[in-house]
Amino acid sequence: MAKGYVILELGFEYNDEIYHTGNYGETYEAPNMVFMDKDKAIEEVDKLNINKLRGEYLDYYGYGVEEFANNEDAFMEFWRREFDKDVEYEFRVPSDATDEQLKELMKLLSFRFFTLKEIELV
């Protein structure tokens, strides 16, 4: 059977404090892209995540760095080194961050905006 690759946008809910993926686990918006080529699908999902990340407030996705980063120390080291700033309350990704910086930042985050699912085509 042939394989297809569907890009899904995670559905976030706002609870008057932060965005989260809901009380029932991950939910998704309706898919709008299907690829036959896995490499192209990965390239597109990376591009979508990077574009969504640029200018985003990361603290909207958790009550602290420990909730939205895989490793708090590694995240803070990266943040200070790449964006040359310390943050007290807001973690807004600079709008002028490069694609390379955003790719590295995505590796440090515990969530994604878009994900890829493999499906069987019949």
Question: What pTM value is reported for the model?
Answer: 0.84
H helical segments located in 20-117: 38-53, 65-68, 72-83, 99-108
Residue-by-residue pLDDT tens, the chain, 122 positions = 899 999 998 887 778 777 877 655 566 777 878 999 999 999 999 999 999 999 999 988 888 888 889 999 999 999 999 987 776 667 899 999 999 999 999 999 999 999 999 999 88
Q: Please give the Cα distance from 5 to 33 (Å, whole number).
A: 8
- Smallest CA-to-CA distance from 59 within 101, 23, 88 is with 88
